[in-house]
DNA sequence: ATCTTGACTTGCC
DNA sequence: CGGCAAGCCAAGA
């Protein structure tokens, strides 16, 4: 796995997600300035492996569900998140409205990320329930 | 260079 | 709400 600016930015963002908060693949992609790179975000984390010292468990899919079940890391991810206080609904999803991280502008600057991309992930989510 | 494959999303029925 | 098709784009099983 080659190093790339995209990859480094993704890891930087993921490392910045606080305990007990989550971000979707698409949101991470937006934050690093690649609005349609959700799949690539998943790839970066996949190549990282479940033992990496990066809070990869804080990245979930757009529906608030865990996409890692298909690679056998779903149970681990759920345990890790629950350990930091994230509660799951009966259908196995997380309420994004409650747990989604909203990085502050100053954080964006510190991470050397395009500031205007933060506004995008603050838009109202279609899954409010 | 070309084709396939996905830890994804969105849009259309 | 559910299923399916189509975008997406980087990596290479």
- Cβ neighbors of A60 (< 8 A, separation 6 or more) are A22, A23, A24, A25, A66, A67, A94
- Cβ neighbors of A75 (< 8 A, separation 6 or more) are A69
Highest-confidence segment of A49-53, A116-120, A124-128? A49-53
pLDDT tens sequence across A78-113:
999 999 999 999 999 999 999 999 998 888 887 777
Write down the pLDDT at residue A129: 30
Write down the pLDDT at residue A110: 78
Per the structure, the residue whose CA is closest to nucleotide B7 at C1' is A42
Is the pLDDT at A2 greater than 60? The verdict is: yes
Question: Considering all CA atoms of chain A, what is the largest pairwise distance in Å, rounded to the nearest integer?
Answer: 40
Provide, in whole angstroms, the distance separating residue A66's CA from nucleotide C13's C1'. 22
Write down the pLDDT at residue A27: 95
Q: Phi and psi (nearest 5°) for A80?
A: -60, -40
Provide, in whole angstroms, the distance separating residue A73's CA from nucleotide C10's C1'. 23
Q: What is the mean pLDDT of residues A49-69?
A: 94
Write down the pLDDT at residue A49: 87
Strand C positions within 7 A of protein Cβ atoms: 1, 7-12
How far is Cα A26 from Cα A24, in angstroms, rounded to an integer? 5
Strand B positions within 7 A of protein Cβ atoms: 6-10
Provide, in whole angstroms, the distance separating residue A83's CA from nucleotide B8's C1'. 26
The distance of Cα A69 from the centroid of its chain, to the nearest Å, equals 16
Q: What is the pTM of this model?
A: 0.90
């Amino acid at each position: 796995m080659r190093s790339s600016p995209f990859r480094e930015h993704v890891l930087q963002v993921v490392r910045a997600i606080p305990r007990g908060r989550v971000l979707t693949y698409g949101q991470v992609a937006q934050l690093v300035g690649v609005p349609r790179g959700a799949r690539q975000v998943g790839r970066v984390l996949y190549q990282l492996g479940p033992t990496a010292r990066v809070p990869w468990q804080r990245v979930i899919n757009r529906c608030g569900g865990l996409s890692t079940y298909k690679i056998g890391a779903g149970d681990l991810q759920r345990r890790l998140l629950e350990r930091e206080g994230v509660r799951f609904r009966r259908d196995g999803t997380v309420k994004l409205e409650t747990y989604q991280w909203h990085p502050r502008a100053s954080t964006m600057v510190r991470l050397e990320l395009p500031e205007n991309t933060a506004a995008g992930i603050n838009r109202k989510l279609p899954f409010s329930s």
